[in-house]
Amino acid sequence: MDSIGGDQVFGDPGAGDPMTGRIERDGIGTAWLDWGGDGPAVVLLHPNGFCAGVYDPLARRLASRHRVVGIDLRGHGASDDVVESAFLGNDAMALDVLAVADHLGLDRFALIGVSFGGGVGIEVAAVAPERVAALVLCEAIAIEAQAREQQHFGYRDSPDGGDHPLAVGARRRRDVWDHRKAVLASYGSRPPMDQLAPEALAGYVRWGFRDRSDGTVELACRPETEAQIFSSTDRHGPVQAFDALRRIAADGRVPTAVMAGNRTDLDPSWFRAQAATLGVDLQLIDGGHFCLFEDTARAEQLIGQCLVDQS
């Protein structure tokens, strides 16, 4: 069995490992990891290209005070492959999240969303504010229409005439690897993945890759899925998420925190606009776009304080 720092990361289940589950909605399967725990429910939503497993070290800590569930958004993790842009909208994924919550009997829950997961979390809170006890956004991809168009984020008419660079990079990702140890060594040696806490990276590699019949492993999120989410102008995406954020602010029932890394490679004005719309202070965290995954103990403290403040 492979191990990192004495903790089991691949192979047979270890102590504290989450239970797995899966349901179908409109013919598309959505999977989740359930770390159990007692107390108010917390639902975790991951960035584009990742999976619920990246939250594993944080989820284990939160489970001492909360019931913790992480959802593999469609096209990611153990959920069904989806590559068609029309089926990758934040609105559809928000309904998947609510379907999982219904199945698990989570009538009311806090939502934590990082990056793309934050955009989906916004949609959940907008469509079902009575069910969301608190919303914690960390570098959520929710962008005002004018800012998105100016920066060509998700637009095919980018300055060089092609897709957004993030989509180009996604399509170039290596899809098949000899084994997870090779993935871990490679990802852990180059940005931005080398900035993740080792235990968070291990969680992603464990649950974000799937075994193939020939003994190799492949990305659970297809490169084209990741690229479509970055580049499509057709899906319900960042601009609609910002509009939904305005509805959350007007409704006033969902207390929301907005966080961002002080060394983010995205435009900080996106996150300042989110905080201003909600009338809250922007919380700056030392780190990059994935700052919530860079220090597990710090993340536990930040999330714990948000959930206390907003309960």
- In degrees rounded to 5, what are phi and psi of residue 137? -110, 130
How confident is residue 48, by pLDDT bands cut at 50, 70 and 90?
very high
CA distances from 42 to 72, 75, 141, 216, 303 (A): 14, 22, 20, 34, 10
Closest CA to 195 of 264, 123, 266: 264
In the sheet that 217-219 helps form, which strands lie side by side, from edge to edge? 176-177, 217-219, 209-211
* Residue 146 to residue 182: CA distance in whole angstroms: 42
Residue that the structure tokens 């019949």 belong to: 213
* Residue 191 to residue 265: CA distance in whole angstroms: 12
Q: What is the pLDDT of residues 185-240, one digit of tens each?
A: 999 999 999 999 999 999 999 999 999 999 999 999 999 999 999 988 778 999 99
The three-state (H, E, C) secondary structure of the chain, written as one string: CCEECCEECCCCCCCCCCEEEEEEECCEEEEEEEEECCCCEEEEECCCCCCHHHHHHHHHHHCCCCEEEEEECCCCCCCCCCCCHHHCCHHHHHHHHHHHHHHHCCCCEEEEEECHHHHHHHHHHHHCHHHEEEEEEECCCCCCHHHHHHHCCCCCCCCCCCCCHHHHHHHCCCCEECCHHHHHHHHCCCCCHHHCCHHHHHHHHHHCEEECCCCCEEECCCHHHHHHHHHCCCCCCHHHHHHHHHHHHHHCCCCEEEEEECCCCCCHHHHHHHHHHHCCCEEEECCCCCHHHCCHHHHHHHHHHHHHHCC
- Average of pLDDT values for 80-84? 96
Query: The domain at 15-309 falls in which architecture?
Result: 3-Layer(aba) Sandwich (3.40)
Domain positions in the chain are 15-309
Closest CA to 66 of 78, 55, 79, 81: 55
Q: What is the pLDDT of residues 109-134, one digit of tens each?
A: 999 999 999 999 999 999 999 999 99
- Average of pLDDT values for 146-153? 59
**pLDDT value at 151 more than 70:** no
Please give the pLDDT value at position 235: 87
Which amino acid is located at 230 in the chain? F
How confident is residue 155, by pLDDT bands cut at 50, 70 and 90?
very low
Please give the pLDDT value at position 172: 94
Q: What is the pLDDT of residues 56-75, one digit of tens each?
A: 999 999 999 999 999 999 99
Full-prediction pTM beyond 0.95? no
Q: What is the pLDDT of residues 226-275, one digit of tens each?
A: 999 998 877 899 999 999 999 999 999 999 999 999 999 999 999 999 99
